[in-house]
Amino acid sequence: MRIFKKLAAVALFAMLAAPALAQANDPAKTGILRIGFIPAEDSRAMVRQSQDILDIVAKQTGLKVEAFVGSDYNGTIEALRNGHVDVALLGPFSYILATTQAPVEAFAVTVIAKTMQPSYKSIIIARKDSPINSIDDLKGHTYAFVDPGSTSGYMVPAAAFKKAGITPEKDFKQVMYSGGHDATIVAVGEGKVEAGSVADRIFERGCAKGLADCSKIKTIWESPPIWNDPVLYRKNMPEDLKKKIRDAFYSVKNLPFGEMGTVARFDPITDKDYDPLRDIAKTLNLDLAKVK
């Protein structure tokens, strides 16, 4: 769909004032720390609204900080795997996928200022003039997931569909992947697709930004709370550098970061806290090493 291609093209914006990622990065040698994001929203905006936190990390580590946004979710995971990204803000499921491909570990979880909670929800949206009012009503209609690596845009609603006895590829008229939450909001708002799954916090911001006339959009389903996006780093970096990075993020108060909006603070978290998502992956019979 044209709207998806247009918004996906924006996601190709990969670096802010940074050279091409030709070789694996060693911050101790290059003096550069690369922080990666998934393209959940407009890439340039995500980098721009993260600048205050990037500056804090630069100051406390003594390194130049450069931002990277993958062309898709897997692009950022690949950058971690190849050592081209040192620190990253990933969606919960993207983090699970990253741990199967790279030696990374989560050290912080975002606490959103608006809710003061380290969690969010997946929602399914449709136009108010649509006959779709529940998950069962989705049968026979077009549907947009965000990305196979998206927690709220794919994994959690997919588990809900399985529990309801729904097979999207068989029961829906058409299944597509928009590439970003913003793209799904626009597509539903313009009637390009009849329903789609997104993160509730991104939907709220998308409405505020005027991506769609949200007075004409309804939420027909929402998930239980999901752990917020984790911040992670490569395990093989020096311990003193990892401590500086942790301390930098733990010092943040009420600043915007990536697609999270304003982050009140970063709380410590461990890899095991995301095991419930691994359990959902097992329920879906997903081979995590093959999800792209």
Query: Where does the chain hold its CATH 3.40.190.10 domain(s)?
Result: 2-115+228-278, 122-222
Return the amino acid letter for 147: D
CATH code for residues 122-222: 3.40.190.10
Backbone dihedral angles phi then psi of residue 206, each to the nearest 5 degrees = -65, -40
CA distance 12 to 240: 33
Q: In Å, how far are 56, 151, 167, 266 from 246, measured between CA atoms?
A: 11, 24, 42, 9
- pLDDT tens digits, one per residue of 235-271: 999 999 999 999 999 999 999 988 788 999 999 999 9
Burial classification of residue 202, based on how many CB atoms lie within 10 Å of its CB (0-12 exposed, 13-18 middle, 19 or more buried): buried
pLDDT bucket at 19, cuts 50 / 70 / 90: very low
**Neighbour tally for 165: CB within 10 Å:** 9
- pLDDT tens digits, one per residue of 47-100: 999 999 999 999 999 999 999 999 888 899 999 999 999 999 998 989 999 999
H or E segment at 230? strand 230-234
Q: Domain 2-115+228-278: which topology?
A: D-Maltodextrin-Binding Protein; domain 2 (3.40.190)
Q: Give the model's pLDDT for residue 159.
A: 94
- pLDDT tens digits, one per residue of 131-145: 999 999 999 999 999
Look-up: residue for tokens 């399914």?
A: 124
Closest CA to 81 of 236, 204, 215, 213: 236
- pTM attached to this predicted model: 0.77
pLDDT at 124 over 70: yes
